[in-house]
Structure 1
Amino acid sequence: MQEVRKLLCDEQWEKLSPLLPGKPSDPGATAQDNRLFLKAVLWIMRTGSPWRDLPAELGNWHTTYTRFKRWGESGVWQRVCEIVSGDRDLKMLMIDSTVVRAHQHAAGAKKKEGPQAIGRSRGGWTSKIHVVVDPLGSPVRWLLTGGEVADITQATQAKSLLEGLKADAVLADKGYDADALIDSIQVAGATAVIPPRRNRVVQRSYDRHLYKERNLVERFFNRIKQFRRIATRYEKLVRNYLSFLNLVCTYIWIT
């Protein structure tokens, strides 16, 4: 259990504890074991283990899973992440996506239970995490789709990754080279730092030096995939997988 303790040090707990349900000031019963509960969820997320394999010293697996699911349904994980990520630097934004292979246990959810966002791509059944990060490599906004969904669609459609975000520059790879996206970035007063595709009749110029900073979004993906429950998708429903994703983004912001 030493590794679990390292995942949630006193300083991190002090930042999170006032934001969680079950405080004495909240209506209803208090939750004195919130810290143990978070350790249990972090252990599951780090190791990728089934809920039933949760060590007894971290609590009852079924009780822990039930609370994890309930907090996801009520928006707790998302709300906490939005609070800790409030102090964001939006001068420069990097946008990209990463593919996550879906485990066989992720299949089979009934449609009435909610969306799954699992699709067939070159790697088989996969999901795709689309994300925007700031100049420090911290997550600003993220979406989950099936693995077959093109990156550009999540940057140009309504309620896109970039909607409402004001920046001086937006960095992306050539997969985002589309006139509609570049025009919308420029209309918003930002510079599009996106390499042109080779098949463009007229090649655009872009800031090659600034483009090197795009590595921050790749480093973000490497970081979240250290958590095996993120690197491989086991959850059947979007809601549960996004709960883990919200938690890992929260963890990055407070680390």
Structure 2
Amino acid sequence: MRRYALRDDQWVRIEGLLPGRAGHVGMTARDNRLFVEAVLYRYRAGIPWRDLPDRFGSWKAVHTRFSRWAKGGVWERLLRHLAADADTEYAMLDSTVVRAHQHAAGAHKKGGTKQAIGRSKGGLSTKIHALVDALGNPVGFALTGGQAHDLAGADALLPDMAADALIADRAFDADARVLEPLAAAGKAAIIPPKGNRKQKRDYDRHLYKARHLIENFFAKLKQFRAIATRYDKTARNFLAAIHLAAAYVWLI
């Protein structure tokens, strides 16, 4: 049970940030902590919502409330609050691909909304693009279909990067989309040059060794089985779950 629950010190750090708390605008929730732990349980165990243990109450109520908070940006704001303590000496950018379960397909496309599910030879998949700080703690995410290039993550995440330097692998060795914007912002790029570059760039090989920290973060993220395999139909809910799991990493 403990690995699916929050310690008292962890709960104290976030309870004042959530809707439904006593004294907050709107209805006071009966038990915010039980609800957050129910969501953590679902994503950590990788079970369908309807299989939540009875101690968490109505699974449908938990799912509905989770979706409402996802739509309202609650989970993202929670992560942003915790990530305000990020070490901005440098940041690391990379991506990981997760399989999308067959039940994740088929969401209604309202107004042409894309659900960040791609179809390739290996089946349905989603790519999670992540930006982490100098200590390997998560600060930002973007989702695309699994077949998308890593540079899609650079387009989404680099404009808001607060760090003074970026560490990334050679997939991000792109002048117009990465190197030039970083140089214009006065930020350093620790990115190995591609083999087909006519003029090789130099980079800090010693600092580049720190890039394993983002791989370590992906390993932590995939301990949540419903993130290692995507079951959510909507990109909004899946991204909200990633924000919650990332916030939990900050609390460990």
For the superposition of Structure 1 and Structure 2, which TM-score range results when normalised by the shorter chain? Answer: over 0.9
What does 1:64-75 correspond to in 2, within 5 Å?
64-75=62-73
8 A Cα contact 2:21 2:32, kept in partner: no
Aligned-pair CA distance for 1:28: 2.9
> What is the identity, as a one-letter code, of the residue corresponding to 1:128?
K
> Please, which of 52, 55, 58 is the counterpart of residue 57 of structure 1?
55
How far does residue 175 in structure 1 lie from its aligned partner after superposition? 0.6
Task: Output the TM-score relative to the length of structure 2.
Answer: 0.95
Number of paired residues? 250
**Equivalent in the alignment of 1:28:** 26
> Deviation at 1:122?
4.5
Question: Is the 2:92–2:131 contact (alpha carbons within 8 Å) kept by the matching residues of 1?
Answer: yes
The partner residue of 1:247 within 244, 247, 250 is 244
Task: Give 1:84's aligned residue.
Answer: 82
Aligned to 1:3: 3
SS at match of 2:131: strand
Q: 1:19 to 1:167 in 2, by over 3 A?
A: closer
Aligned to 1:93: 91
From 167, 170, 176, the counterpart of 2:172: 176
- Give the whole-Å Cα distance in 2 for the aligned partners of 1:78 and 1:166: 17
- Equivalent pair of 2:192/2:203 in contact (CA under 8 Å): yes
SS at match of 2:135: coil
Compute the displacement of 1:27 (Å).
2.7
Compute the displacement of 1:129 (Å): 0.6
**Contact 2:79–2:247 (Cα < 8 Å) also in 1:** yes
TM-score (normalizing by structure 1): 0.94
Pair 182,26 (structure 1): closer, same or farther in 2 beyond 3 Å: same
Instruction: List structure 1 runs of 4+ shifted beyond 6 angstroms.
Output: none
- Is the 2:132–2:214 contact (alpha carbons within 8 Å) kept by the matching residues of 1? yes
Structure 1, unaligned stretches of length 5 or more? none
Q: Which runs of 5+ in 2 are unaligned?
A: none
CA distance in structure 1 between the partners assigned to 2:139 and 2:2 by the alignment? 31
RMSD of aligned C-alpha atoms? 1.4
**Match for residue 224 of structure 1?**
221
Please say which of residues 227-236 and 117-126 is displaced more in the overlay: 117-126
